Amino acid sequence: MTVTEIHKDSTELRMTVTTEWNAPIERVWQLWADPRKLERWWGPPTYPAIVVDHDLRTGGKVSYFMTSPEGEQFHGWWNVIAVEELHRIELEDGFADTDGNVNEALPVTLTTVTFAELPGATRMLIESRFPSREAMDRLIEMGMEEGLAAAMSQIDAVLAGD
């Protein structure tokens, strides 16, 4: 396993995965650029994926579907926001109904993948963010368990001082 670090930030709803592979950058890139390779790792093992459209260029679209063990199909898409070959991929990743209409009930993530050459290895950094950050921030602001407990003990102190 070559995941070297995972960092989660629940206030910013951001996650960074740092990985290192003992392979040249071109091979690591191939796993994104070749739809037959991409479909072998993107979905869970029990939900085999089939990539339908694959235009990994700035402004391009990727679409795929996964089939559950019960035979139910889940359709997903990427909006390819920017691509710099062998260096960077920026994409929006979400779900859709069977007709390809975006499913807004499920979270859309914004993911940036950067590739860097190390001596004899490749570092691949994946940074994902949930764009509905304002909504999440608001929830966190209003409700964080510790925050609320702290606020309540402050209220207690104020009331006790009355």
Partner 1 sequence: MVVDLEGRADENRADVLFHALADATRRDIVLLALREEHSVSDLARRYPMSFAAVQKHVAILERADLVTKRHHGRERIVTARIDSIRDANRLLDEFESVWRHRMEQFGVVLSELDQPAEPPTGAQQ
Helix axes 145-161, 133-143, angle to 10 degrees: 40
CA 76, 80, 85, 87 dihedral sign is: negative
User: β-strands 61-67, 121-129: how paired?
Assistant: unpaired
When asked if residue 1 is in the footprint of partner 1 (CB under 8 A), the reply is yes
Q: How far apart are CA 54 and CA 63, in angstroms?
A: 7
Q: By CB under 8 A, tell whether 71 contacts partner 1.
A: no
Q: Is 107 in the site for partner 1 (CB under 8 A)?
A: yes
Q: Does 144 bind partner 1 (CB under 8 A)?
A: yes
Closest to partner 1 by CB, 58 or 68: 68
Beta carbons within 10 angstroms of residue 133's beta carbon: 15
Phi, psi of 139 (to 5 degrees): -60, -45
Per CB under 8 A, does 40 bind partner 1? yes
Q: Which stretch binds partner 1 (CB under 8 A): 18-26, 65-73, 79-87, 94-102?
A: 18-26
Q: Identify which of residues 41 and 58 has a Cβ nearer to partner 1 in the complex.
A: 41
Q: Identify which of residues 58 and 85 has a Cβ nearer to partner 1 in the complex.
A: 85
Count of alpha carbons within 13 angstroms of residue 5, beta-carbon side: 7
Q: Is 2 in the site for partner 1 (CB under 8 A)?
A: yes
Distance separating alpha carbons of residues 121 and 109, to the nearest angstrom: 28
- Give the footprint of partner 1 on this chain (CB under 8 A): 1-3, 6, 8, 10, 13, 15, 17, 19, 21, 23, 27-28, 30-31, 37, 40-42, 44-45, 107, 109, 126, 128, 130, 136, 139-140, 142-145, 148-149, 151-152, 155-156, 159
